[in-house]
Structure 1
């Protein structure tokens, strides 16, 4: 027990959240069950307008690119790398919020086990071949191996939650930095389009998309106001005072909140 406590004391919030995410990722999923011939679950699978690869690419890298560019212009009269350091610091906090978002979404997915709109097409449960009328099937076995772990993870929409987290994070950051409104609308609109595509592709029910947005909201507020301190940083970021700060304090200015 002492060794466990000692090991735990050496971890930080990143280690703990990553460990939780990995544990949750390998937990078995619950099965909500289905009603025979349910039309809401009988849609054909047509693919993704926005794939996971594209979504993660945008969610992981676009905020960093935007903040590096904006901070450089915002501090154009300052001949230091403080603007880069500030952008990277906020980006690290944003990534923590993203990992928190992913973890909570996945916990909900495996806890609920809600069938997707294309459930019958991709899962092809063998129990659906014999059930009749409006009979409810609480336990089932998918016959399509590729979809065994995906056909019943509809609630909530992970695409929507991550898109809202990234899109509104960028939009609010641009607002705080006084950037053009069209860029903010483009960022927020992109998040809304991502959520809409999940409905059009029949990958989620409308309540899944709504739930994804609701999950993202408090995590986004926590990321912006607590982790990123509402982007409170004067134009020069106290650069004049840094020359009089001890070396250890310089590290703290950049890494504050990393543990």
Structure 2
């Protein structure tokens, strides 16, 4: 986003469009907030807010559900020689039979939804919406679709990697994709309005 805004600002045709779209904010009596700086702060600020919001939603879901990761028994290292484990077809709810690292075991209890899938699809979808809404290429029509699809493909491969390495279940990754996509779409459409500027004429200082 930072590189894209700076590149568009230094291109004459797009710079004139951005200046027309953005309102020039007067701070104090003599200082103006540059439209470039305003757009960078707004878009990156909203992205950071969505990143933290997605992380909070994922953490809340993981704590509430307590779904076990596929590798839970590997890190749990249960004591099968205990008295409670000798009886067959018996549900064990007394004590802790895990002998592994406590922190690793606690992490393995938080699998749903997948944080990696949620954050990756959120970042990819937010960046894709920014690219399709702001960057205009007249010379090559395939540059923008290739860049957007490559970004989304990287996020999709992140989710597949979590499943292939037995770090998350398929349902965990799908839930993470849905959560991250929902946050990105909400912020991109309802908050930054498809990355369009606020139309209006620059404000002028009041005469003394």
TM-score (ref. length: structure 1):
0.61
Does 2:134 correspond to 1:177?
A: yes
Does 2:3 correspond to 1:69?
A: yes
Instruction: Give me the whole-angstrom Cα distance separating, in 1, the residues matched to 2:95 and 2:179.
Output: 28
- 1:131–1:118 CA distance, 2 compared to 1 (3 A): farther
Out of 148, 165, 190, the position equivalent to 2:122 is 165
Conserved? CA contact 1:68–1:83, under 8 Å: no
Larger C-alpha radius of gyration, 1 or 2?
A: 2
Q: Corresponding residue for 1:156?
A: 113
Out of 162, 183, 190, the position equivalent to 1:219 is 183
Conserved? CA contact 1:164–1:188, under 8 Å: yes
5+ long unaligned stretches in structure 2: 20-33, 137-143
5+ long unaligned stretches in structure 1: 1-66, 247-259
- 1:63-142 matches, cutoff 5 A: 67-75=1-9, 76-77=11-12, 78=15, 81-126=34-79, 130=85, 135-137=90-92, 141=96, 142=98
SS of the counterpart of 2:194?
Answer: helix
Q: Corresponding residue for 1:229?
A: 193
After superposition, what is the alpha-carbon deviation per residue over 1:51-104, rounded to whole angstroms, capped at 9, x for unaligned? xxxxxxxxxxxxxxxx12212222322498422330221110111111111111
Q: Which runs of 4+ in 1 moved over 3 A?
A: 78-81, 125-129, 131-140
- 1:83–1:134 CA distance, 2 compared to 1 (3 A): farther
Instruction: Give me the whole-angstrom Cα distance separating, in 2, the residues matched to 1:221 and 1:184.
Output: 15
Tell me: higher relative CO, structure 1 or 2? Use CA pairs within 8 A at least 6 residues apart: 2
Instruction: Give me the whole-angstrom Cα distance separating, in 2, the residues matched to 1:128 and 1:212.
Output: 38
Out of 187, 192, 196, the position equivalent to 2:160 is 196
TM-fit CA distance, 1:134: 5.2
Q: Corresponding residue for 2:103?
A: 146
TM-score (ref. length: structure 2):
0.74
Conserved? CA contact 2:72–2:105, under 8 Å: no
Please, what is the CA RMSD of the aligned residues? 2.6
